[in-house]
Amino acid sequence: MKLLILFPPESQRANISAALVQVGYRITTISSQPNPLSRHTETLMIGLDEPQVPKALEVVRHALQSNTSLRYLVLHVNRFDIL
């Protein structure tokens, strides 16, 4: 199991989220604003099986406007504990 964590540019968040949902991915969004003077940011997280990661990244890249970079992490997740 993999956890794909995306840090999309503010101007591209809606496009990326819509593209991922349209092809069937479920997304968790975490919003934050570290302090009142800083910009609001959103992080997108998607739980995937390992073979799905390249397809999800392809969908994201197609949703981005040209010349836009994207920061992301792919984490290996062994198991989830239920509290």
Q: What is the pLDDT of residues 4-53, one digit of tens each?
A: 999 888 888 899 999 999 999 999 999 877 777 767 688 999 999 999 99
Do the domain assignments include residue 56?
Answer: yes
Do the domain assignments include residue 48?
Answer: yes
Q: Hey, how many other C-beta atoms are within 10 angstroms of the C-beta on 21?
A: 12
- The reported pTM is 0.82
Show the domain range for 69: 2-33+40-76
Do the domain assignments include residue 70?
Answer: yes
CATH number of the domain residue 23 falls in? 3.30.70.120
Q: Could you tell me the CA-to-CA distances from 54 to 38, 42, 50, 51, 68 in Å, in that order?
A: 33, 22, 8, 7, 18
